[in-house]
Structure 1
Amino acid sequence: MTTDPRPLFARATEQAAALIQAVRAERLDGPTPCSEFDVRTLLSHLTGGARRIAIAGEGGDAVAAQPFAEGVPDDGWAVAYDEARIRAVKAWAGDDRLEAVVRLPFGEMPGRTALSAYVMETVTHTWDLSEALGRPLALDPEPAEFALAVAHRMLPDEQRDERTPFGSARPAPEGADTYDRLAAWLGRTPLSRA
């Protein structure tokens, strides 16, 4: 993999930030396609994930970092996520970070691979949030195309088991866009079809 994931990570996080700003308090307890998360828990996971990849980019212990953000008030998710994503983008600014080995809960890998995985993670959970909110914003297809390629390479369906945080691949609906194909590959079902 030779693509520099940093511009796509920045775009993916900007898109997630715009969507998080659209969340209203009455939607926080609502369901998402990520069946174990309501909207509030999904926001906590997006924020915790951005913090975790920021710590990895800074050379810290990302394994010890919490996967969920705690103590964020219901009206504070947009600010909390924006702070975490800006920290992450800054942490990965140096070209040396792409080749440095980082350790994440799912293993040790070059920074380029780790950040690519977090593009996939961010894009997937942005789709989850978009679905939960009734698709209020048009989503940028380029980060999704990159994320789908990463998902195909890193998460082949035949290698998934009970420890894999994504379900078995499902068939994508006819006429599916890249986000829907990514969601299907990662075992998601749109709320409208669940």
Structure 2
Amino acid sequence: MTTMQTDPRPLFRDALNWVAGLIDGVRSAQFTDPTPCPEFDVRSLIGHLVSTIDRGRVIGAGGDPLTVPEVLTAPDDGWVAALRTSADHYWEVWNDDALLDTVVTAPWGTFPGRAAVLIALNEALVHGWDLAAATGQPAEADPDLANAALGIMQRALPETPRGGPVPFGPVVDPAPAAGATERLANWSGRVTEPWKN
């Protein structure tokens, strides 16, 4: 099955459940800690994850995703609920099978809807890795999920070019013992080694 025949929605659902569990595991003292994504601390990284879901909803609905702030806000004890609410609204749009082959427009280009879901899947898993690494939680999603996402992203996100209009850094060589989620983060340009628990 090629990337453009794959339905990535079940993978994205699983990734969102994994991220919700990680958010639930953040301790109150950790919200201001740094993360592997240098522009975000733990709180703003979570707010960015929730924003990514909401922006994806707007993309699917044919709107302008830049009307959604890059980082959303919520009480620290309300982040899991905020993520689940955003996900519910996302699926109200994306449960339509026809949308997978409908051309949608995002800030980084125009492409079939399934590609937008693939990008959201990558964001969830890579930023989930960031969140887990920053908060001392197990940083590997289910290996079947992460390996499936890695295989898809290695076809959908070429090794070159990177930077400029392609909002990913150069591929990082994974450590020999890196799990699939870490390797996905490496493929997305994340230097993971300093953050490993």
For normalisation by structure 2, the TM-score amounts to 0.88
The 5 Å alignment of 1:34-73 reads 34-70=37-73, 72-73=74-75
Which region of structure 1 is more displaced relative to structure 2, 58-67 or 108-117? 58-67
Partner residue in 2 for 1:143: 145
Question: Partner of 1:24 in structure 2?
Answer: 27
| Residue deviations 1:161-184 (CA, integer Å, cap 9, x gap) | 245433211110012111111111
Does structure 1 retain, via aligned residues, the 8 Å contact 2:169–2:188? yes
Any conservation in 2 of the 1:127–1:183 contact (CA below 8 Å)? yes
User: 1:106-154 CA distances to partner (integer Å, 9 max, x unpaired)?
Assistant: 1111111111111111111111111112124762123322322333233
Match among 76, 81, 84 for residue 82 of structure 1: 84
Partner Cα separation in structure 1 for residue 88 and residue 43 of structure 2: 21
2:105 match: secondary structure:
strand
Unaligned runs of 5+ in 1: none
Partner of 1:181: 183
Alpha-carbon deviation of 1:193?
A: 5.5
Report the CA distance shift for 1:50/1:143 in structure 2 as closer, same or farther (over 3 A).
same
Task: Please tell me whether residue 121 in structure 1 is matched to residue 123 in structure 2.
Answer: yes
SS of equivalent to 1:157: coil
Distance 1:181 1:136 in 2: 15
Structure 2: gaps of 5 or more residues: none
Is 2:170–2:188's contact at 8 Å kept on the other side of the alignment? Answer: yes
Aligned-residue identity in percent: 39
SS in structure 1 at match of 2:160: helix
| Aligned residue pairs, count | 193
Distance 2:189 2:28 in 1: 28
Pair 1:179–1:52, CA change in 2 (3 A): same
Cα distance change, pair 76–150 in 1 and its aligned pair in 2 (3 A): same
TM-score by length of 1: 0.89
Q: In structure 2, give the amino acid aligned to 1:12.
A: A
